[in-house]
A and B are shown apart, each in its own frame.
Chain A
Amino acid sequence: MNLCMIGCSHKDAAIDVRQQLAFDNRQTLEALDCWRSKFPNSELALLATCNRVELYAAGATDSEELTGALLDYRNVSSKQVEGHLLTLNDSDVVRHLYRVTASLESMVVGEPQILAQVKQAYQSAQDVGSTGPLLHDLFQSALRTARRVAGETKLHKHRVSIPSVAIADLASCVFESFDDKHVLVIGAGEMAEETLRYLHDVGKPHVHVINRNAERGKKLASQWAGQYHPWSELWSQLVEADLAISTTSASEPVVTAEKYDELVTPRRHQRALCVLDLAVPRDFDATIADALGVYLYSLDDLAKVCTDNQSARAAELPKAEGIITQETRRFWVDANHRAAVPVISNLRQELERPKKAELERLFQKLPDLEEPVRREIEQFADRLVNKILHPPMESLRDASQEGTPHGLLDAVRRLFQLED
């Protein structure tokens, strides 16, 4: 089996290099279509995400030609990506794709999106018709391996991004469900958007956005089917809120303890308020956490949980690596064994032919044989052929553990005068 991978990732290339090689969905389809006619004897798939661009090929393909095709398509010179492109062959390709799909190569180890991205990459290749049996086996086994890693380790169970920890690890300890909850977003920064994305994955809250810049606030609110409120409604919205997410870039706390005690506390009647203060410096005065019913978490508190979770993930890595090694070996042994299948099949046919001829001759000489005796003789002949075949089969299977046993297969072909 001839496998090859050309590409770059966040590990080897900075974002400016990755941007030059970036492909969107449409470009991926076009590029695969173009390369398919250029390399008719190869199977091709392109995995393009924010953090990596990787071209996988199987069949009669030269890695330098592939590199040239990739760079030419993006009009990038080899000098521009010198030292940033990674080239892998055969079992290294299998191991790499398994690690990528299981999220061990991700920027945030254990993040789940990569699995869908690998699936999409294979689907795109299938749509264009650039895949074949080799890449099919490779990608399907990669997805199976990723599922094994997800199921047999806790790598994905510990969240490590601030928004996911804020929602899934903390806010969910306060609220049973986020459906119909009044979520107040103060500020319209990236962190607010990311947190709302996680929030929408787990429920259907009513989103209310407050921002000094009305245009940005309205944009964020409309993006999440929410409602925009002017800054003057901050205190009345805090009275109504179940969950407050604050991400402004204000240099002073926007919610002071005095104002909170005066305008919000008496009207909330100790109803639970979960505050995720994701701003630096803090938007909520730290002493507000002392108010009854208020559960205030700052970025530092959340970062601590993230760090703990990262350590927990790191503890799961050896187990995940063990699964990758096991599955890579299994894939390779299966692939090598598949390469020997035509020879084994030929060999069996070659031995079956004389067996049948000799049985026919024997049965013609002894026409009065009873049916049970004839069956016994046929079984004897089958057993004999199987026993003769057993040692070479075993040798081929053993040799397949280390790679395609070309020498042995050639020897079998010559010894038994098998046709190709």
Chain B
Amino acid sequence: MDSGINMLCFSACYAIALALELLGLWRQIRLRRLVLFLAGASGLVAHTWYLGKRVAEMPAAPLASQQDWYILAAWALAAVYLVLKFYFPRSAMGLFMLPAVLVLIGVSRFTTTTPLATFQSPRIWGQVHGVLLMLGTVVVLMGFLAGLMYLIQSYRLKNKLPLTQSRFQLPSLEWLERMNSRSLGAATLLVGGGLLTGILSRLAQEGDQNFVPWTDPVVMSLAVMQLWLVVAEVFRLVYPAARQGRKVAYLTLAAFGFLMLVLAAVTLRDSLHTKGELGSVEAQVSPSTTNVLRGGLL
């Protein structure tokens, strides 16, 4: 039975929530926060329903295609937003998080719905790989947004701008710094785990495909990102000033830059694939290009 729930339904709910967040900056409206929370919650319910429907249609979903992958990442970010909104009802975090959710959904529209490569290696590795990288992406995004909020809040405090009297309220610097710091640590583990499971899934394949295509742009950008995350963590361990304040925020902003590179590489590669050009690329670059995308990025 077609439930009639499509991407437009939950996108519209998130857009309404974002509009209400924006409206809160200008005017005080009765029940605004309640309606905002309900709009966000409705969006998440519709979003969950949509993903459930995808799972029913295709057992490999919600990581069966690149589009699914983006939509699942958007779902995770929206869920985090709702939890944070519950704990910080007055904060304007939605102004940062909801656009990110909408961008992820928007980008998913331009990515392929073609199922990712046929599973030749144990399916579990592909799924773990996809989930870890999806969570890594969400965590890096969270760190990036917390970093942005930290820099804005720090600027407001330094310049003695109105804080609690203002309608634009953010969590405390201490909370944002903790969020930044933890997201960096968690991203290192998740992305590292994703990369490792991707490698393992490649090596577990039979025949002439059991090697890691290090020259592949996706693999290369992902490896560089992981390298950056490890270096950032070591930097934080060695240099105490990098454990707190603005430096952590800058590190998370840089991690976001690397994430953008990885996502651009993945999206670009797969758009070639959908145009039917992947076969030639596959032949030239690596014999296992489709498997690289299995369940995620590798």
| Size category of the binding interface on chain B | 20 to 34
Task: Give Cα A177 to B247, complex, Å.
Answer: 22
Q: How many A-B residue pairs have CB under 8 A?
A: 62
B165 & A293 in contact (Cβ 8 Å cutoff): no
For residue A122, CB closer than 8 A to chain B, the reply is no
B241 & A269 in contact (Cβ 8 Å cutoff): yes
- For B136, the chain A residues whose CB sits under 8 A away are none
Contact with A272, one of B160, B162, B245 (Cβ below 8 angstroms): B245
- For A174, the chain B residues whose CB sits under 8 A away are 157, 172-174
Contacts of A270-322 to chain B: CB distance below 8 A: 270-272, 289, 292-293, 295, 297, 301, 304-305, 308-309, 312
Query: In the complex, how many angstroms separate the beta carbon of B171 from the nearest chain A beta carbon?
Result: 7
- For B172, the chain A residues whose CB sits under 8 A away are 172-176
- For A269, the chain B residues whose CB sits under 8 A away are 240-241, 243-244
Contact with A along B140-178 (1 / 0, CB 8 A): 000000000000010011101011110000011111011
- For B245, the chain A residues whose CB sits under 8 A away are 270-272, 292-293
Decide: A173 near B246, CB < 8 A? Known: A295-B158, A312-B165.
no
A173 & B175 in contact (Cβ 8 Å cutoff): no
Most buried by A among B153, B174, B175, B243: B174
The chain A residue sitting closest to B172, CB to CB, is A176
For residue A143, CB closer than 8 A to chain B, the reply is no
Most buried by B among A170, A293, A304, A312: A293
Query: In the complex, how many angstroms separate the beta carbon of A278 from the nearest chain B beta carbon?
Result: 15
The chain A residue sitting closest to B159, CB to CB, is A289
Contact with A270, one of B156, B173, B247 (Cβ below 8 angstroms): B247
A173 & B153 in contact (Cβ 8 Å cutoff): yes
B246 & A175 in contact (Cβ 8 Å cutoff): no
Contacts of A133-191 to chain B: CB distance below 8 A: 158, 168-170, 172-177
- For B162, the chain A residues whose CB sits under 8 A away are 305, 308
A169 & B241 in contact (Cβ 8 Å cutoff): no
The chain A residue sitting closest to B176, CB to CB, is A176
A272 & B244 in contact (Cβ 8 Å cutoff): yes
- For A270, the chain B residues whose CB sits under 8 A away are 241, 244-247
Task: Give Cα A173 to B160, complex, Å.
Answer: 11
- For A292, the chain B residues whose CB sits under 8 A away are 245-246
Task: Give Cα A320 to B240, complex, Å.
Answer: 52
The chain A residue sitting closest to B248, CB to CB, is A270
Contact with B160, one of A176, A271, A293, A301 (Cβ below 8 angstroms): A301
Query: In the complex, how many angstroms separate the beta carbon of B15 from the nearest chain A beta carbon?
Result: 30
List, sorted by A's number, 26 A–B pairs whose CB atoms are closer than 8 Å. Answer: A158-B165, A170-B163, A172-B172, A173-B156, A173-B157, A173-B173, A174-B174, A175-B173, A175-B174, A176-B171, A177-B174, A269-B240, A269-B241, A270-B244, A271-B245, A272-B173, A272-B174, A272-B177, A289-B158, A292-B245, A292-B246, A293-B245, A295-B158, A301-B160, A304-B160, A308-B165
Residues of B in contact with A (beta carbons under 8 Å apart) = 153, 156-158, 160, 162-165, 171-175, 177-178, 240-241, 243-247
Q: Which 10 residue pairs are nearest across A and B when measured between Cβ atoms?
A: A269-B240, A269-B241, A176-B174, A176-B175, A169-B164, A270-B245, A176-B172, A270-B241, A295-B157, A173-B163
Residues of A in contact with B (beta carbons under 8 Å apart) = 158, 168-170, 172-177, 269-272, 289, 292-293, 295, 297, 301, 304-305, 308-309, 312
